[in-house]
Amino acid sequence: MEQPLLEIKDLRVTFHTDDGIVHAVNGVSYSIEKGEVLGVVGESGCGKSVHALSIMRLIPIPPGNIDSGEVLFYGKDLLKLHLEELRHIRGSQIAMVFQDPMTSLNPAYTIGFQISEALILHQRMNQNQARERSAELLSLVGIPEAKRRLDDYPHQFSGGMRQRAMIAMALSCEPSLLIADEPTTALDVTIQAQIIDLVKRLQSNYGMAVMWITHDLGVVAELAHKINVMYAGYIIERGNVRDIYKRTRHPYTLGLLGSLPRLDEAPGIRLLSIPGLPPDLVALPKGCPFVARCNYVTDICVESMPALEDVGDHGHLVACWRWTEIAEGVA
């Protein structure tokens, strides 16, 4: 069997704060194949972004710390590389697009300079070659008059255009993996749809793998092949898109899906909400972290955290003591 592009094993990340140790990522394990699109979903604070930043070793240390685990990229553990080796991978083989491009782009430099910088560093291009390629990339992501706009600064671009420029920068070295951390959250719905279509087209053209981090299950349904549902630093359900949406096995995923408006439902159907709040990551409960908000809770849920279990549907995994009853509709 071919080696996965990225394989994460038992990743654990904590933050040391005045209030105590925040357990942000708690034993996350999964893999991404070449050319695969993975959606990572969950509420704010569930560990989506922290685990992605940990892959690139971009969390601030201190207060953050990667306590344990392996992040194997083409079989090489990124957590054990010297920073100089890691710099050759960041931006070149693994690229990242962040939620707010205005905080990612340097306001003091032109867009052209910032795209060219990666091409000169990683592709060994000269200034003229890098400028030509930068114009091609801006044109590729749908920015009109690309050559002229190379000399513009980030504040001269709209929010959607800045995000396109960030995607152009991320794609400049044709990475094997693109990590997109909620890249459409700050954009209006029309621009969101354009960015999603753009990423789908570029992913198909380049054959790269994509990790799309979001709280929006509607976006993931359109874009992803597989989904990781995260809660309180754990993956609580994982599978292909069809299984997650049609054969949901975890109460939290049921709640997320129930909160989505659907075109095929009768008018007047009320959307569901998940009661309560996520647990305090400084003092996680002894058992399942979803126990205080779950309608299916029993004694064992309070006492013990369930492991991810294969439910027999094409690699569909779930961490729930009562998934069989949920599947049969009797819980």
| Average pLDDT of the chain, as a whole number | 87
The SS3 of residue 22 is: strand
Model pLDDT, residue 9: 95
Model pLDDT, residue 261: 66
Q: How far is CA 280 from CA 27, 287, 292, 305, in A?
A: 17, 13, 11, 16
The SS3 of residue 178 is: strand
Q: Which residues of the chain have pLDDT under 50?
A: 330-331
Beta bridge partners of 95: 178
Cβ–Cβ < 8 Å for 74, 21: no
Model pLDDT, residue 40: 94
Cβ–Cβ < 8 Å for 154, 186: no
